[in-house]
Structure formats: C-alpha cells, structure tokens
C-alpha cells in the first residue's frame, strides 16, 4: 500500500482540492489545445452553451477538483477533472464512448483522509473490501472480485473505474452511502479499480503500468587482467 502522507502534505492536498475556504476555477475552451472562445467557471454550470460555447474542446483546471458530465444538467457519463491541463477530450476520459462535456460542478472533498467500503451485493451485503488512504489499480490484485453493487464512502472523495488501471467509464463517490449501482449511474455492478481524487501533482494518470524488464548485464567495465603467458621453452640442438 502507498506511504502515509505527512501532515503538511495532507494540508496542502486538502487546500488544493477545495477544502474549507478554498476556491474553484476552470477555464473552458471551444477547440482543442486551448484555442477559440473561452469561458471561466467558478461555480456549477448546468449547460456550457449558456456561457457562449457550442462545445468544449479543451480545458484548464486552475483549482478544483471538478466533475464533468457529457449531458446537460449533471447527467450522463462522469469525468473527474483535477488540477491540470486537458488539451483534448481524450485527456479527461478514456472510455472512448463520449467526447462531449456539457455540464460540470465543483467536487466536494470533505477531508484529506480517505476510507471506502466496497460490497459485493446491494444494500451493503456480501463480501466486503475496505480501502484506507490508498489507490487500488486492480481489485483482483487485492483478492476482490470485479462485482461491486453497493459502496460506502466514509471519508474523502473517490473515483471508480470499470476496468483495471483506472480505465473505462468513471464513477464518482463523494461522502455518503450508495445502496445500489444505480445510485452512481452505472450500467452494471462492475468496478475493477478505484483511486482517491487528488490533484495531478499527487496522482499520475494511468499509473497501472507494466514495469520494464531488467536490462541485460553489460560487459564488465574493469575486467581482470589476463594471466601472463608461460615462457617459451628452449629448443633442442
């Protein structure tokens, strides 16, 4: 499991994530690579077209985090938007099923501590997995199945993914109880990886990476000297 953060790090994370007294700001651009008309958002926005944008092609989160939706009125597929730059639609979603972003709102973060309970069946029954202050790129890797039908977010804000390695459709879990997968607008009770919502400076996107193989050993940089050749024997006359 990951290392515990020090108190200064926890305070820094809480402040950057919109803790008490924090501000939220995101800049939306109509085209990719931060081009075209732009709009600055500091509160929930049910319809980006009301801000003078026909679409969102890129964005910059200056302070957050936020959650975006591919439909108006905070409905449809969800996208976590942490502090950082998003030059194309595929930088805020990797599900490949939607490239629209039509509404967004600030994401509630109640504390720097994180605790999540996953349950196999609805209404918090069946097998249970507890996750505390850690990111889990594969539930299978920790001995839990991919069926998650109810969730309790006890502390912090979390995002679950349909596939390992933080891939596929995203599901937001702010503090509270989720008795059924319909509560987080999932098409099925399937979650295979979960992580804490934190700024990009703390969490590297897509960190479920197969390590590179160890390099083959190279030649000895300081080989031992070869033994001297034996003296030539004297010839017979």
User: Would you say residue 167 lies in a domain?
Assistant: yes
**120 shares a domain with 92:** no
**172 shares a domain with 126:** yes
**160 shares a domain with 99:** no
Residue 62: partners with Cβ closer than 8 Å, 6 or more residues away? 25, 26, 27, 83
User: Would you say residue 88 lies in a domain?
Assistant: yes
Look up the domain containing 119 and give its range.
Answer: 115-196
**129 shares a domain with 49:** no
- Judge if pTM exceeds 0.85: no
Over residues 138-193, the pLDDT tens digits come to 999 988 988 999 999 999 999 999 999 999 999 999 999 999 999 999 999 999 99
Q: E-assigned strands of 8-112? A: 25-31, 35-41, 58-63, 66-71, 75-81, 84-86, 103-106
If one counts the domains in the chain, the total is 2
pLDDT score recorded for residue 215: 53
pLDDT score recorded for residue 117: 97
User: Would you say residue 129 lies in a domain?
Assistant: yes
**101 shares a domain with 24:** yes
Quick one: which H or E segment has residue 132? strand 125-132
Over residues 1-35, the pLDDT tens digits come to 333 333 333 333 333 344 445 689 999 999 999 99
Query: Whose structure tokens read 């024997």?
Result: 233
pLDDT score recorded for residue 112: 77
Which CATH number does the domain housing residue 75 bear?
2.60.20.10
User: Would you say residue 210 lies in a domain?
Assistant: no
């Amino acid at each position: 499991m990951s290392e515990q953060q020090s108190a200064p790090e926890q305070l820094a994370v809480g402040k950057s994530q919109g803790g008490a007294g924090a501000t939220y700001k995101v800049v939306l651009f109509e085209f990719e690579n931060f081009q075209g008309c732009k709009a600055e958002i500091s509160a929930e926005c049910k319809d980006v077209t009301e801000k003078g944008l026909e679409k969102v092609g890129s964005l910059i989160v200056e302070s957050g985090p936020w959650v975006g939706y591919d439909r108006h009125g905070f409905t449809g597929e969800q996208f976590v938007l942490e502090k950082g730059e998003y030059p194309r639609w595929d930088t805020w979603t990797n599900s490949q099923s939607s490239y629209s972003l039509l509404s967004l709102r600030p994401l509630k973060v109640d504390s720097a501590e994180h605790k999540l309970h996953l349950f196999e069946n609805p209404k918090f029954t069946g097998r249970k997995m507890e996750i505390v202050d850690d990111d889990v790129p594969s539930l299978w890797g920790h001995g839990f199945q991919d069926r998650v039908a109810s969730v309790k977010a006890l502390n912090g804000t979390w995002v679950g993914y349909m596939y390992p390695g933080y891939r596929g459709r995203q599901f937001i879990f702010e503090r509270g109880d989720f008795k059924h997968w319909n509560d987080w607008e999932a098409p099925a009770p399937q979650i295979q990886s979960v992580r804490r919502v934190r700024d990009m400076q703390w969490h590297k996107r897509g960190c479920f990476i197969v390590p590179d193989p160890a390099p083959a050993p190279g030649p000895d940089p300081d080989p031992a000297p070869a033994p001297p050749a034996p003296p030539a024997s004297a010839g017979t006359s």
